[in-house]
Structure 1
């Protein structure tokens, strides 16, 4: 298949150009147009975004999301590749499930799917899953996300084994005993509302423990790679910064909701703001932004976590944690922080950064590179309208906000995965 996109610019240029794609790769720039032609409407061309942390809820929870709705939402958000989490029903701890998810996703024509598999059987935290077989089936990461790894010895063994396979272990870093039944950040706001709090120390204490495990493995020559999900506190970020300075093979991600929202949002008792780890303070959000700027944070991930509206309308004590917003993550980040970070840095955090972390080839716009691309409208403000979401979770904390940076076109493997009507 040949596709030509006209009337586009690159992020570092004001020159209007044309790119031609053929057989899943970039054939060349500014050559005679071939095949189908699409007007890029003066948008900015970039490599398609890469999402390392999304909950697509399949198998077993398809009333919340499924592969079709989740991957369509990802493509609408400019993502070409999505890593889905394994806390499904049943848990993704069986090579057959990994293979079936990949096969189904390949037939949908939206974003590309790379499943993460459970680190332990059933995500029980006690017995390692069959990691080698899961890798052979197509799993790209091991994680018990949705559960915290309470058994330090099992995490040690999992990191060691995964390291021998050249695989990343991704962790939800919260000490369960410190978190207890906390439903929001512990501090003045939780005290004022009379709600059980989840202290920042719960995250920091677990990050510190996991980094010590990693240091012990490295001292023995292990190739273990620890990735810390959705960092939310200044203290945990400081610990990661120090570990990187010591040469430990640790990476981390930050989510837009922890950058743009704080625990003050919970004053209305609306469970739409309930997430795990919880929204923290403005001081924490400011520290995370500095971590993006100075390179401590390796990538931006969304932790896209759809639930039904009925679930999120429960009270804060009973409602599940999670926000679904994969299709507005880039516009949100560009509108709020494009000036602080710059377009190239923001794109790096959402494309090359995730690729480096995973050991994947660096995304490129050069001839011969894979044709995973997004055209972004950086100028036009558009209202966040949840009713238009491809996701089944058609509600969001940012409803009605005016954002810039919306994708106009997403191409995956040289084929159109999303095109704004």
Structure 2
């Protein structure tokens, strides 16, 4: 098979790395890819938003399957375009990707289908939104309706933060058209987790539950980021509770989509808060998570193609998918991230870290300059380790990180702390 992976981050690198292990794959292209993918894939100089050029490339090069990594092209309708041209592609159509592309649409769907989520109100008028905010008070969550690259949800613990967020989104339009409509929702308290499933209509294959660490600094301090690390599976969620989460949320969402005339295929990755009242949806994503995918790919035992081709007549036992134990992903970030940072800084030690057992380093924001690997983004590398226990995976990932160096590099020192606390109680 000839496979095209669209994207340039660590998520896409992890997918390329896993695809390269499939005996069914004989050629991988990555558009635009990153330097870490070079051993496994031929890089194509096409951006993720060049939809028509990507379709032409797939047609010309007889691509058997295209896998779309990031959300933006899905929201723009790349799957619809590929399907119209008879090109095999993995991901939801534009109407399905609206679950991620429009917070208001997702909220309406969940409310109508009685899927547990926070109480909310949607506004397209700044004055009305401001009045509601003043009546509601803090804490409250302010969300840009459209795609804001993972930065459009502000958890405001005080009124000043909430008012600033609302003004920035609706008046200053820092997210452009994405903030023309804003969702104001109740703040949920509890443990935030992720549930990922490969979906084919109302059939789905549940992957493991995971927990991301979104804040930049230890003890969940600092600004929100695209993700500073993740671990899977979760020792504080038992099998029965996990099954309940997938049934109440993933299964219910797929059926609600079907009732609305949308046959959802691809990945549904839901952010969920484990509250005192039970699991409640924070938001839905319609693609593989990042950094979740990096951990999943290291833990996955099966051929990734079999997983992506899952359907109701090709059932897969989710118990046989995984290597035993746990996987932990750790993000190495540029100095100043998630604020301003410099690029083009030399990186050393990646090859040495990759030589360690059950460790792999995925490139997130890197570039080549005069044959030297350099930084090229906020999140630079994703170091992933697998262990027979969560503690072993954590120790291994931090040992690997010590091999890697670049000026200003920072990372969290407490990834998986909730999981380790739960494991130590048993």
TM-score, structure 1 normalization: 0.33
Q: Of the two structures, which has the highest relative contact order with CA contacts closer than 8 Å and spacing of 6 or more?
A: 1
TM-score, structure 2 normalization: 0.33
